[in-house]
Amino acid sequence: MTGMNVGFVGLGAMGSAMAGTLLRAGHSVQVWNRSPGPVRALEAQGARPAADLDAVFGNDVVLSMLADDATVESLLLRPELLAGAAAAVHVNMATVSLDLARRAAELHARHGVGYLSAPVLGRSEVAEAGKLNILAAGEPALIDRVQPLFDAMGQRTWRLGDEPHRANTVKIAGNYLIACAIESLAEACALAEASGADPAELVEVMASTLFPGPVYSGYGAMVAERRYEPAGFRLALGLKDVNLALTTGAERNVPLPFGGVLRDAFLDALAHGDADRDWSAVAEAARRRAGLPG
């Protein structure tokens, strides 16, 4: 397979890991980030640094992995950037709102640039191993074009329709489910500890019987052990995704009663200084409600 010329924007823990897998697969990757440290780290692995975003959009394909709607909009949804782009397609791999996905698709189409949504399931260690699940939506021919990149970064690509926002819908709902699971684990572990049982034993039993899988085993262990660092997914971003779910529900008259509980628990954690810890640190809010020692 001949390598592709790829521009990559956004080199947090996830973006850096994903760009690294593309380099190891033999693709030519040009990288841009607001802070220079991750650019230098990837340059040492063979990436080409980009002077600006115009240079990034001179590649055949652009991938972006940015934090939120506001960052995507301010950096990438600029008519002057897209008007001068040589790239055939921009693949937005971030978790963003359905509204932004629709507006991005329309703006890209006006300037003759393809647009795909392709958020991912998996933490940074999964990205490092090239084992992500990629939720892709948009024009099928464009997905075909970038499939070699998805194959390098992920174990499976889930094709979710011709409209990019459909992938964002599945991703938002998926993260909402994970947040609900973390909160339920936190409450169950607090109940076990307050009653004299070992939370770690509770998690081991449940993850080995009723609730097998990476969410209950992985996050369950983090909650039981109160092990929230290093952050695989920052708590502040977890609140952002809970709010995306609540906003999506409100727009479509879909009540999400657990969402309000989650929002308040995450706000409690933020108020206690946990913004940069893993989002499983929301479990500390359940401990405080139960009167358990800090």
Q: Read off the pLDDT of residues 7-35 as tens digits, 9 standing for 90 and up.
A: 999 999 999 999 999 999 999 999 999 99
pLDDT tens digit sequence for 105-126: 999 999 999 999 999 999 999 9
> Which residues lie below 8 Å from residue 204, measured CB to CB, with a gap of 6+?
none
> In b/e form, how buried is each residue of 207-223, taking b as 16+ CB within 10 angstroms?
beeebeeebbbebbbbb
At CA 268, angle to CA 266 and CA 270, rounded to 5?
A: 70
Say which CATH topology domain 5-163 has. Answer: Rossmann fold (3.40.50)
**What sign has the CA pseudo-torsion 67, 22, 232, 40?**
negative
Give the start-end residues of each E strand in 69-109: 89-92
Residue 186: φ, ψ to 5°: -60, -45
CA distance 139 to 114: 8
Cis geometry, peptide bond prior to residue 119 (ω within 30 degrees of 0): no
Place of tokens 């708590």: 235
Name the CA radius of gyration of the chain, rounded: 20
168-289 is a CATH 1.10.10.60 domain:
no
Q: Which residues pair with 6 in a beta bridge?
A: 29, 61
Q: What are the sequence ranges of the domains in the chain?
A: 5-163, 168-289
Nearest residue to 62 (alpha-carbon basis) of 82, 43, 41: 82
Instruction: Per-residue pLDDT tens, the chain, 294 aa: give them.
Output: 579 999 999 999 999 999 999 999 999 999 999 999 999 999 999 999 999 999 999 999 999 999 999 999 999 999 999 999 999 999 999 999 999 999 999 999 999 999 999 999 999 999 999 999 999 999 999 999 999 999 999 999 999 999 999 999 999 999 999 999 999 999 999 999 999 999 999 999 999 999 999 999 999 999 999 999 999 999 999 999 999 999 999 999 999 999 999 999 999 999 999 999 999 999 999 999 999 998
- Do domains 5-163 and 168-289 share one topology? The answer is no
* Burial of residue 229, with CB atoms counted within 10 A of its CB: 0-12 exposed, 13-18 middle, 19 or more buried: exposed
Strands in 132-136's sheet, in edge-to-edge order, are 120-121, 132-136, 154-159
- Contact 186/290 with Cβ under 8 angstroms? no
**What are the backbone angles phi and psi of residue 10, rounded to the nearest 5°?**
100, 95
pLDDT at 294: 87
171 is catalytic: yes
Amino acid at 219: Y
Amino acid making up residue 262: L
Active-site residue, selected from the candidate residues 108, 123, 171, 234:
171
Pairing status of strand 5-9 against strand 89-92: unpaired
Q: What is the pTM of this model?
A: 0.96
